Chain A
Amino acid sequence: MKYIPFFGCMMTIKYPWFEAAVRRTLANVGLEMVDVDGFTCCPDPIYFQARDKIEWYTVAARNLTLAEAAGHDVITTCSGCTATLSEVNLALKEDQKLKQQINERLKEIGPEFKGTINVRHAVTVLRDDFGIDQVAKTVKRPLEGLKVAVHYGCHLLKPSRIMRVDDPDRPTILNKLLEAIGAEPIHHDLTLLCCGRACMTDSIPNQMVAEILDAVKAQQADCMGLICPSCFDEFDLGQITLGRKLGKKFEVPIVYYFQLLGIAQGMSLEEVGLNMHKVKVDKIFDTSPARA
């Protein structure tokens, strides 16, 4: 089975090492990607959706028609892209009148939206199409003893009516994927708290980020593991700027799941960009050669 990757703006430009980690690790699991030309911003579920929801549907539907033409499901690797493309895909499949309205706009530039494919976050595809065991089989260097505080983020799970990935209050998908690579998933009271990224007032997300980082530290986790570049922004760079503001050093390394998978598959820190983070992560990995 082939999949169309949709990396979105942040991963393509700001965090290309996440894209590199996703491409390499998924290839090792056996997933074949077919790249499609012409994708734009998903568009983002916060700013662009706040601007005009009909236009948000339209731009997202245009992206979806490109994938429909190629004939494979889309895999997303950013929770924002996941939120936009999943919601628009479902809304247009469910609401014929809305689909007609959007297709009227798309007529000028290309094919209409048909509703023939699905959109899924890469972690969902790993769990459901390949299986946790298949992921575990690719591991050459189990991350034994690595305590990873899980941060699910909001848009992988909610709205559950649309996402249909896991129980939004008791999710297990990331725990299972971490266990598959030998790491120890750590839950804390704020595992499911939002990073606050979308708030227009700094003080609210600042409080959320500080509380979550403190909770991670209290559990003595080695790092925080997540699957969304926006959350990553909030906790990595955000941790530094917030620390300056508060006169405090959190020193919680933040890692994207596919970087961890890459390390477990035997890749170097540089290959998955773990040398690029604002909060240094090198201390937490045993970088001795992989046990083949």
Chain B
Amino acid sequence: MSDKQSTRTPEKHKINYAFREKLNAVAEGYRHNFCYQCGACVADCPTGNHSETFNPRLIMLMAILGFEEELISPDSEIWNCTNCYTCSERCPQDVRPVDVIIALKNICYDEGKAPELIGKVSDTVLTDGITTKITSLAERRRAELGLAPIKQYPVEDIQKIIRGK
């Protein structure tokens, strides 16, 4: 193995246990601990098959080693996961890689390191109760189709049960 490669081998990397504890504290994040790096998640991953850099096994490995900088960023590979759950079907260890990736995304959002679009789209649930903008055109089309008008969404209830950011 060349020197260049060996600088990134697990042996030379000090495991960031503090980050792993942080991940363990997020919903479903603890599942990364079950991963034994078999690679069953890789072959049928649609993003992996359409990207030279996305690899669910490597994302799990980075979680195990605590590569916080690589994982917790708006440019992290995790944002290219399609949430298709094929990896969760293949995983013999019940890691549910999509759920670990979602836990990593939750950390990103919490630390202000998620892509802007995440906040922008999800905020509309707090402000409008829904994620699609109501337009007069939509109202008109519903009427033409004989459907009931769009009802007021209970935004106040939503604001009481979730925090804004």
Task: Report A's interface with B, CB cutoff 8 A.
Answer: 9-10, 12-14, 16-17, 19-20, 23, 35, 37-38, 40-41, 43-55, 57-59, 62, 105-106, 108-110, 154-155, 158-161, 168-169, 193-194, 196-201, 204-205, 207-208, 271, 273
Pull 11 A–B residue pairs with CB atoms less than 8 Å apart, ordered by A. A9-B130, A9-B131, A16-B138, A17-B145, A48-B121, A58-B162, A109-B160, A159-B98, A169-B89, A194-B46, A199-B81
Q: List the one stretch of B3-11, B61-69, B100-108 in contact with chain A.
A: B100-108
Contact of A53 among B103, B119, B160 (CB under 8 A): B103
A62 with B147, Cβ < 8 A, contacts A43-B131, A45-B83 known: no
Determine if B161 is an interface residue (Cβ-Cβ < 8 Å). Answer: yes
In the complex, the number of residue pairs spanning A and B with C-beta atoms less than 8 Å apart equals 171
The answer to whether A41 touches B138 (Cβ under 8 A) is: no
Determine if B30 is an interface residue (Cβ-Cβ < 8 Å). Answer: no
Residue of A nearest to B138 (CB): A13
* Chain A residues near B80 (CB-CB < 8 A): 199-201, 204
In the complex, what distance in Å separates the CA atom of A154 from the CA atom of B46?
11
Task: Report B's interface with A, CB cutoff 8 A.
Answer: 26-28, 46-47, 50-51, 54, 79-86, 88-89, 96, 98, 102-103, 105-106, 108-110, 114-115, 117-119, 121-122, 124-125, 129-135, 138, 141-142, 145-148, 150-151, 153-154, 157-158, 160-163
Contact of A48 among B86, B115, B122 (CB under 8 A): B122
* Chain B residues near A45 (CB-CB < 8 A): 83
* Chain A residues near B134 (CB-CB < 8 A): 13
* Chain B residues near A35 (CB-CB < 8 A): 148
Contact of A16 among B82, B98, B147, B151 (CB under 8 A): B147
Residue of B nearest to A104 (CB): B161
* Chain B residues near A158 (CB-CB < 8 A): 84-86, 88-89
A46 CB, min distance to chain B CBs, angstroms: 6
The answer to whether B121 touches A53 (Cβ under 8 A) is: no
